[in-house]
Structure 1
């Protein structure tokens, strides 16, 4: 990884992209430090540090901006949710499905719809966060004309910050390196590394002072952390190779084909997006609850009591949503029939499989099996810390999501750098 970054830095155009991406992420961290007026962040931090772990997840996605009541408190969440909605509608509505197949122009129109949906969801979440903070007593003004003015300022600031984060993500996609959404999440999580280090130091101090539980927890957590990173790297680079044989053909006086190759199918084709999407969906009930005072003994209160990061019901829902989004994302990115048609046009066949529909069915079966393995891999990393939190009595429920996002984004960024460097070193057919 370091060697790839070093080589990329030597190329002027890649260096410009790296610097541009770094500048956008720096602006994101600056915006995450600009406080929104008329709020009391200390009160909100008290609730986040308590048992309301879904608030901790919101704070994780925003890089600590939510707990500090800053301009980017919503983070990239509205844009993620809007992307999910538009992708689901593109499967259900024929007109949107046709746009998705029209290439670059169709994608531009879908991106425009995604922005409109982001504005609507950002406004909804801004209002929800305002009522949430009012219920927690985190507002400076709660009555009189000042209350209405402060409400407009707070909601407008949250919405404007969300739109700015969306713009930053799109700028990284267009002019920088990596996926914009993932890079912003990466920056937010990495920015909280100091608090994680402080937690480890605190546990070490407790271990030194004779609390026997921490003599086991601290080394076990560190070993588990390193094992998770190794596991993610191995599974991210793993692939299932389908052998392909190209028939020989004569064109003029030259003979083409006859070579053997393979179709690589990545085990983790969808990256970290299923984890991000599943986490966003599970945070919706708690976000809606921000509109109202929830009775702990009522239906909504009981639902929220089980949709928590440290509850087994949440882990089960998390597992099924990760599997569902993994299947969905791969189904819209991978078309077995198109691959089979391309093979037939180029006189390529899979040994033992007839061309055409049988080839497409074979590829679909292989992709389906690989998708199951990839989904289980993502679920193990995301849900494992939740189960360990239940067994060990410590709060590491957010660790799996953080690790898979950070490692996945780092590997994806290095892969993009390597592919771009390979393109610049490719001599082509004219030399």
Structure 2
């Protein structure tokens, strides 16, 4: 490990990329602590100190923003509007022929889709920023805080517009920094910012476990949570690295005096083909009933039932609904992102075939069969990894940030970043050998 770090800093190109990434990360973390205009910073800190767990989509946004949401800072929304916009565009690609045609055009089409994603990100940031400001003004952001209604002292239209504009500009700035890291830094910029946001909340969450643990010895709770976290990290690494390699053989062709093909390769199908997207979908869907109940009559029977059963993360109904939705969206997302018919056609056009399987429709059927067999354990794994830590940590007070989603994202992004660094180190070694 130390030798790898030494090799990174010995390479001028890698050292420049690493320092550039670290610089943008520092700016991102500083912006996460700058409050927006029109907010009473003292009242916000009072409510944050007495705040309990924020479940649903609100907790997810707070997690992805590194705690900046509840602080109501410039980067309060974080990168989640961009993630949502990317997922929406990816889903619309299956429905809208124009987007599907752009996707097949290559780099130029992808650039156009990226531009649409930026526009949609800004629109979603305006909507979510308006909701955040309205929630903060009504006092619903901190329902158990006595000064929650005084967080925004001035409720004029101009102040509200400035607050929404500031939050939207912060989201656009975060999106720009993420793209800069992708182009000039190390790793995927958006994933890196999410990684930093989640990782920044872990030390405070672990220390809160030690101070407010529900079991007698705080240090015992602290060490127990760390042990559970290591077990979950090992499980995530094992599953994220696991893949089914479907062999593909290409026929040998002779054109003129040269021969082409005759090689063997494989199609890597991961067990968790959907990544963390199903968890985000499930959290978003479960937040809708809670959001409707929040603005409805609190004494209505259906609103009371939703508040009692579909808001707390450790309630059996919430756990069951979360698990089932995660499994469903895992199958749904894999079905729209991996097209066996298209893959089978590409293999056939390149003169390839899967040994023992005829080219064309039988190949597509075989790929669909293998993918379904892999998605079942992958979806169950996602459901368990999203719920087991949450339920397990419910017995330890203050472990609200130590969710399965955070562990999954941290490990996945860490593995991908290490792979990219290693590939660039090997590339530098080959270039030196050739020189």
- Normalised to the residue count of structure 1, the TM-score between the two structures is 0.84
Could you say what secondary structure the match of 2:392 adopts?
helix
Of residues 323, 329, 343, the one that matches 1:339 is: 343
Show the counterpart of 1:122: 125
Matched, 1:7 2:16: no
Show the counterpart of 2:109: 106
**Distance change >3 Å, CA 42–CA 173, structure 1 → 2:** same
**Distance change >3 Å, CA 157–CA 100, structure 1 → 2:** same
Which region of structure 1 is more displaced relative to structure 2, 126-135 or 167-176? 167-176
- Alpha-carbon distance between aligned partners in 1 of 2:208 and 2:377, rounded to the nearest angstrom: 33
User: Are 1:172 and 1:179, in contact at CA under 8 Å, matched by a contact in 2?
Assistant: yes
Show the counterpart of 1:181: 190
Show the counterpart of 1:154: 163
Matched, 1:263 2:267: yes
Instruction: Using the TM superposition, give the Cα deviation of residue 96 of structure 1 relative to its aligned residue in structure 2, in angstroms.
Output: 2.1
Q: Mapping of 1:150-299 within 5 angstroms?
A: 150-202=159-211, 211=216, 217-250=221-254, 260-284=264-288, 292=295, 295=298, 297=300, 299=302
Instruction: Using the TM superposition, give the Cα deviation of residue 121 of structure 1 relative to its aligned residue in structure 2, in angstroms.
Output: 1.7
Could you say what secondary structure the match of 2:227 adopts?
helix
User: Are 1:81 and 1:281, in contact at CA under 8 Å, matched by a contact in 2?
Assistant: no
Show the counterpart of 1:315: 319
**Distance change >3 Å, CA 31–CA 97, structure 1 → 2:** same
Cα RMSD of the aligned pairs, angstroms, is 3.2
Show the counterpart of 1:359: 363
Show the counterpart of 1:53: 55
Instruction: Using the TM superposition, give the Cα deviation of residue 389 of structure 1 relative to its aligned residue in structure 2, in angstroms.
Output: 4.7
Matched, 1:74 2:83: no
Instruction: Using the TM superposition, give the Cα deviation of residue 231 of structure 1 relative to its aligned residue in structure 2, in angstroms.
Output: 0.7
Which region of structure 1 is more displaced relative to structure 2, 220-229 or 319-328? 319-328
- Alpha-carbon distance between aligned partners in 2 of 1:69 and 1:171, rounded to the nearest angstrom: 25
User: Are 2:202 and 2:401, in contact at CA under 8 Å, matched by a contact in 1?
Assistant: no
**Distance change >3 Å, CA 90–CA 304, structure 1 → 2:** farther
Which region of structure 1 is more displaced relative to structure 2, 147-156 or 250-259? 250-259
Which region of structure 1 is more displaced relative to structure 2, 269-278 or 63-72? 269-278
Of residues 326, 331, 334, the one that matches 1:327 is: 331
**Distance change >3 Å, CA 338–CA 7, structure 1 → 2:** farther
**Once the two structures are superposed, what CA deviation does each residue of 1:344-380 show, in whole Å capped at 9, x if it has no partner?**
4454332221122212211221122222222222221
**Distance change >3 Å, CA 159–CA 284, structure 1 → 2:** farther
Could you say what secondary structure the match of 1:67 adopts?
helix
Of residues 131, 144, 153, the one that matches 2:134 is: 131
User: Are 1:44 and 1:133, in contact at CA under 8 Å, matched by a contact in 2?
Assistant: no
User: Are 2:64 and 2:197, in contact at CA under 8 Å, matched by a contact in 1?
Assistant: yes
- Alpha-carbon distance between aligned partners in 2 of 1:420 and 1:274, rounded to the nearest angstrom: 31
Instruction: Using the TM superposition, give the Cα deviation of residue 175 of structure 1 relative to its aligned residue in structure 2, in angstroms.
Output: 2.5
- Normalised to the residue count of structure 2, the TM-score between the two structures is 0.84
**Once the two structures are superposed, what CA deviation does each residue of 1:55-78 show, in whole Å capped at 9, x if it has no partner?**
443322211112222111111222
Matched, 1:90 2:132: no
User: Are 1:35 and 1:70, in contact at CA under 8 Å, matched by a contact in 2?
Assistant: yes
**Distance change >3 Å, CA 151–CA 250, structure 1 → 2:** closer
**Distance change >3 Å, CA 296–CA 46, structure 1 → 2:** farther
- Alpha-carbon distance between aligned partners in 2 of 1:138 and 1:361, rounded to the nearest angstrom: 58
- Alpha-carbon distance between aligned partners in 1 of 2:329 and 2:20, rounded to the nearest angstrom: 31
User: Are 2:38 and 2:153, in contact at CA under 8 Å, matched by a contact in 1?
Assistant: no
**Once the two structures are superposed, what CA deviation does each residue of 1:74-105 show, in whole Å capped at 9, x if it has no partner?**
11222222222222222222222222222222
